[in-house]
Amino acid sequence: GRPSIDPELMIRMMRIGYCLGIRSDRLLCEEVKLNLAYRWFCKLKISDPVPDHSTFLMAKIPTRMTRHIFVTIEIEIDSLWRS
């Protein structure tokens, strides 16, 4: 089968995609591969491989649930930031 993806890495990559409006898994993986700031955010060293888009796609949770999770996280972060 496909190699597994670290759940923390998956969430961090999904957050980048959500914040930047990147809907394509292929494009998201390419952006993380090329952008050092995104690698830093994902805690990837330059020598660490970025997951293949097909592996990432299989590990992703359904889109509606993803949006709900990130909206909930954003609301929580915003309320913590303001307090």
Give the count of beta carbons closer than 10 Å to the beta carbon of residue 32. Answer: 23
Kindly tell me the sign of the dihedral angle through the C-alpha atoms of 12, 17, 18, 19.
Answer: positive
- Please count the other Cβ atoms lying within 10 Å of the Cβ belonging to residue 58: 14
Q: Record the pTM.
A: 0.68
The pLDDT tens digits of the residues spanning 12-64 come to 898 898 888 898 989 999 999 999 999 999 999 999 999 888 876 666 655 66
Res. 1: pLDDT tops 70: no
